[in-house]
Amino acid sequence: MILGSTVCGDIPWRMFCIKSDYLFRFAQVNQLIFAGENLYQLITKMFVHIAILHFLLNMISLWFYGIRLEKSSSGLFVILVFLITGISTSITNLFLGTIISAGASGAIFGIVTTFTVLNWNKKNTKILFLAFIIFIHSPAILGSSINYLSHFTGLACGAILGISKMQSIDKTK
Rg (C-alpha) for the chain, rounded Å, is 16
- CB under 8 A, 24+ apart: contacts of 155-159: 155/109, 155/110, 155/113, 157/84, 157/85, 157/88, 157/89, 157/110, 157/113, 158/81, 158/85, 158/109, 158/110, 158/111, 158/112, 158/113, 158/114, 158/116, 158/117, 159/113, 159/114, 159/117
Catalytic-labelled residue, pool 61, 101, 144, 151: 151
- Greatest alpha-carbon pair distance for the chain in Å reads 55
151 is catalytic: yes
105 is catalytic: yes
Catalytic-labelled residue, pool 105, 137, 138, 145: 105
Catalytic residues: 105, 151
